[in-house]
Amino acid sequence: MTEINITLPDNSVKTMPTGTTSQQVADSIGSGLARAVVVARIDGNLTDLNSPLEQDCSLELFTGDTPEGHDTLLHSTAHLMAQAVKELFPAAKVTIGPTIENGFFYDFDVDVPFSDEVLARIEQKMKELAKSCQEIVRTEMSAGDAVKMFDKMGEPYKVEIIGEINPEDVISAYTQSDFTDLCRGPHVSNTKKIKYFKLLSTSGAYWRGDENNKMLQRIYGTVFASKNALKTHLHNLEEAKKRDHRKLGKELHIFAFDEEVGPGLPLWLPNGTVMIEELEQLAKITERKAGYHQVRTPHLTKGTLYEKSGHLDHYKDSMYPAMDIDGTDYYVKPMNCPHHHKIYAATPKSYRDLPVRLAEYGTCYRYEKSGQLFGLMRVRSLQMNDAHIYCTKEQFKKEFLAVCNMYLKYFEIFGIEKYSMRLSLHDTKGLGKKYVNEPELWLETEQWVREALQEGSIEFTEVPGEAAFYGPKIDVQVWSAIGKEFTLATNQVDFAIPEKFDLTYTDEHGSDKTPLCIHRAPLGTHERFIGFLIEHFGGNFPLWLAPIQVAVLPVSDKILNYASEVETTLREAGIRVKLNDRADKIGAKIRQAELEKINVMLIVGEKEETNKNVSVRRRFEGDTGLYPLNDLIDQLNEEIINRRLSHSKEKEAATE
């Protein structure tokens, strides 16, 4: 018998008989791995565990808790679901079943929509099929043969999909028992590897997303590698529903939309406005310390400026139409950049003035299709934590790193523990078309950005071909406390616009030079960021950000005078306070304050009045004791000034 050498990721080599499968390699390593492994990478290609190894190769084994393994599990479970549907409803026609983030769906053509009861039956059937240990086998055939096969099986949607492929092309299908589905793979090798799954919901969906086509029934589901991971995910889904910023934003009186104002144009209620002002305050202090200057610009601008900036060429679809003022076209601004460039140009600059950092919480208006609008996440008016940094090539790296570090500082303040930075680069094919034709400048700036990130020990991934027209950029994604992903902001390098706007500085030798420009907005827009914060904190904001920080709750009417004295003292100390002077019982007042998610409740009765102190009750902590009012104010102010994150117990309660 011939043997082959299999190189594992730790560079150890296993010698095994030709035709050994990856599953057998896993079996030879250990029973834990043998059970948990779901897919293999052989010489760089993800492959089914039961495909035989025919020659010397490198082999990597993936369990279901790796991204590769999880995707394989999701895929395989979608097939298992389709198999179950076909067993229960033989007349159902299968269509497609892709994976999505942490889940999958599959669309079926059936006569009667799936009810919750039917969903439970399908899930039960899936459990039976999984337990029956069916081997999942890959076959390859020509697209032409596949059309014939699915036609014979009475699956017109599959026939339609494969009909679009060249009949000579080889495609793959996966079969378990008598169920076969078209798929590129890879898949788990046996249904018994699919254990911890859940069907989540159903909805109608048009075939190919076209409303002229037939309405299909879509089932969403998910699967994980362990019982715990599934449980955590299901909990997070429930929690995400409760934390939906549209729901909480309304309940906590943060923002509102009004038909007569218009869709996508949020109204900030007093509570939301407090949050906006706190964020702006934070940004201003941070930026002032970092050497930025605040500027202000108008909302209306002549069309000629947007011709120069290129917005009218490249961005017109997102701009509101021009209005004619005294025979000249004016637009509401979609971006603040051109105005900041004009501010830079308003006074002459020498190398000694650089870097120039101009910051503005600028309001912009962008056209989003009404179908695209979504709560605070997709809106038509937005206020951006914008700034533009103009610097020399020599200063660039330091400036860019400082911007990245500002992001990290903010993440710390908001308790954002998971984030990713993605560096988008140009590709040489796109030069002169998709990208400004400056081959050397591209390579140079990309390398500076890379070095800045490396020097700052900031983790990032690189994606070629995703850069902006005028320079490389960094996209920042953040994850909320319950693991929901948000796109926060973009950091862009711009080496084309300064030249277009004739922005210059005089260098040491008296000659004119063009500066580089960095666009940055670490806190994104108020709309998106507050939407994120609502979901991240579940409405339980840290004290410094909470719209109402303290509720004063008198136990009876007799205490109203003292209660209002307490209220006034707190207000004069700069604390946002609310007195509940209604005739309710104290229990009801506490419940009301809890509903409003107010962090600190001060309960005042006769005893407190006599001793001139307050009984303090904190959300998630309960009663914390009696305090002289001034001591309490010092304590609260310390927490507010240092922008402390909420008490750890509160965090636990929020993520439990």
Minimum CB separation of residue 311 from Zn ion in Å reads 11
Minimum CB separation of residue 412 from Zn ion in Å reads 25
Nearer to Zn ion, 181 or 650 (CB): 181
CA dihedral 423, 424, 428, 430 (to 10 degrees): -170
User: Of the listed pieces 3-11, 26-34, 73-81, 389-397, which binds Zn ion according to CB under 5 A?
Assistant: 73-81
Check binding of 520 to Zn ion (CB under 5 A): no
| Residue pair 384/525 in contact by the 8 Å Cβ criterion | yes
Minimum CB separation of residue 521 from Zn ion in Å reads 8
Minimum CB separation of residue 627 from Zn ion in Å reads 48
The residue to which tokens 């919480």 are assigned: 361
User: Of the listed pieces 177-185, 302-310, 347-355, 546-554, which binds Zn ion according to CB under 5 A?
Assistant: 177-185
Minimum CB separation of residue 187 from Zn ion in Å reads 6
Nearer to Zn ion, 334 or 554 (CB): 334
User: Of the listed pieces 81-89, 333-341, 425-433, 481-489, which binds Zn ion according to CB under 5 A?
Assistant: 333-341
Structure tokens at 9: 């990721």
User: Of the listed pieces 111-119, 282-290, 352-360, 514-522, which binds Zn ion according to CB under 5 A?
Assistant: 514-522
Positive or negative: CA dihedral 467, 470, 472, 474: negative
568/470 Cα distance (integer angstroms): 55
Minimum CB separation of residue 79 from Zn ion in Å reads 5
Nearer to Zn ion, 519 or 578 (CB): 519
- For residue 149, the cross-strand partners are none
Nearer to Zn ion, 473 or 597 (CB): 473
Minimum CB separation of residue 389 from Zn ion in Å reads 10
Outline where 438-585 has alpha helix (H): 439-455, 497-500, 526-537, 560-572
Minimum CB separation of residue 490 from Zn ion in Å reads 9
Contacts within 8 Å (CB) and 24+ apart, 137-140: 137/50, 137/174, 137/175, 137/176, 138/48, 138/51, 138/172, 138/173, 138/174, 138/185, 138/186, 138/187, 139/172, 139/173, 139/174, 139/175, 140/170, 140/171, 140/172, 140/173
Check binding of 519 to Zn ion (CB under 5 A): yes
Nearer to Zn ion, 75 or 311 (CB): 75
In which region does residue 425 sit, left (phi positive, over 0), alpha (psi from -120 to 50) or beta (all else)?
beta
Question: Given candidates 39, 122, 136, 183, which one binds Zn ion under the rule CB under 5 A?
Answer: 183
Distances in Å between the Cα of 326 and the Cα atoms of 173, 323, 333, 428 are: 67, 10, 19, 46
Nearer to Zn ion, 337 or 555 (CB): 337
Minimum CB separation of residue 374 from Zn ion in Å reads 24
Minimum CB separation of residue 25 from Zn ion in Å reads 23
User: Of the listed pieces 158-166, 178-186, 575-583, 598-606, which binds Zn ion according to CB under 5 A?
Assistant: 178-186
Kindly calculate the radius of gyration of the chain based on its CA atoms and give it in whole angstroms: 30
Three-class SS state of 21? strand
User: Of the listed pieces 152-160, 272-280, 503-511, 519-527, which binds Zn ion according to CB under 5 A?
Assistant: 519-527
Nearer to Zn ion, 96 or 654 (CB): 96
Minimum CB separation of residue 183 from Zn ion in Å reads 3
Check binding of 311 to Zn ion (CB under 5 A): no
Distance of CA 235 to the CA centre of its chain: 18
Nearer to Zn ion, 36 or 74 (CB): 74
Minimum CB separation of residue 614 from Zn ion in Å reads 48
Nearer to Zn ion, 239 or 475 (CB): 475
Question: Given candidates 237, 319, 337, 552, which one binds Zn ion under the rule CB under 5 A?
Answer: 337
Nearer to Zn ion, 183 or 555 (CB): 183
Minimum CB separation of residue 98 from Zn ion in Å reads 9
Question: Given candidates 23, 39, 68, 75, which one binds Zn ion under the rule CB under 5 A?
Answer: 75
User: Of the listed pieces 75-83, 126-134, 431-439, 548-556, which binds Zn ion according to CB under 5 A?
Assistant: 75-83
Residues 250-269 that bind Zn ion (CB under 5 A): none
State the Cα angle at 467 between 464 and 473, rounded to 5°. 110
DSSP tag of 618: E
In which region does residue 126 sit, left (phi positive, over 0), alpha (psi from -120 to 50) or beta (all else)?
alpha
- For residue 325, the cross-strand partners are 328
Structure tokens at 261: 């104002």
Minimum CB separation of residue 472 from Zn ion in Å reads 14
Total of residues contacting Zn ion (CB under 5 A):
4
Nearer to Zn ion, 75 or 195 (CB): 75
| Residue pair 482/432 in contact by the 8 Å Cβ criterion | no
Outline where 328-438 has alpha helix (H): 337-345, 393-414
User: Of the listed pieces 37-45, 71-79, 146-154, 299-307, which binds Zn ion according to CB under 5 A?
Assistant: 71-79
Nearer to Zn ion, 278 or 494 (CB): 494
Nearer to Zn ion, 77 or 613 (CB): 77
5/599 Cα distance (integer angstroms): 63
Binding mask 425-464 for Zn ion (x = CB under 5 A): ----------------------------------------
Minimum CB separation of residue 91 from Zn ion in Å reads 23
Residues 574-603 that bind Zn ion (CB under 5 A): none
Nearer to Zn ion, 359 or 614 (CB): 359
State the Cα angle at 207 between 202 and 211, rounded to 5°. 100
Distance of CA 38 to the CA centre of its chain: 28
Contacts within 8 Å (CB) and 24+ apart, 345-350: 345/501, 345/502, 345/503, 348/506, 349/390, 349/504, 349/505, 349/506, 349/515, 350/505, 350/506
Residues 4-63 that bind Zn ion (CB under 5 A): none
Counted residue by residue, the chain has a size of 656
Nearer to Zn ion, 255 or 529 (CB): 529
Smallest CA-to-CA distance from 548 within 306, 278, 303, 187 is with: 278
Nearer to Zn ion, 316 or 618 (CB): 316
Nearer to Zn ion, 81 or 534 (CB): 81
What's the burial of 395, exposed, middle or buried (CB within 10 Å: 0-12/13-18/19+)? middle
- Identify each DSSP E strand in 18-135 by its residue range: 37-42, 45-47, 57-63, 93-94, 99-100, 103-109
Minimum CB separation of residue 386 from Zn ion in Å reads 6
| Residue pair 515/392 in contact by the 8 Å Cβ criterion | yes
The residue to which tokens 């207000």 are assigned: 571
User: Of the listed pieces 41-49, 69-77, 599-607, 620-628, which binds Zn ion according to CB under 5 A?
Assistant: 69-77
Minimum CB separation of residue 199 from Zn ion in Å reads 17
Contact set with Zn ion (CB under 5 A): 75, 183, 337, 519
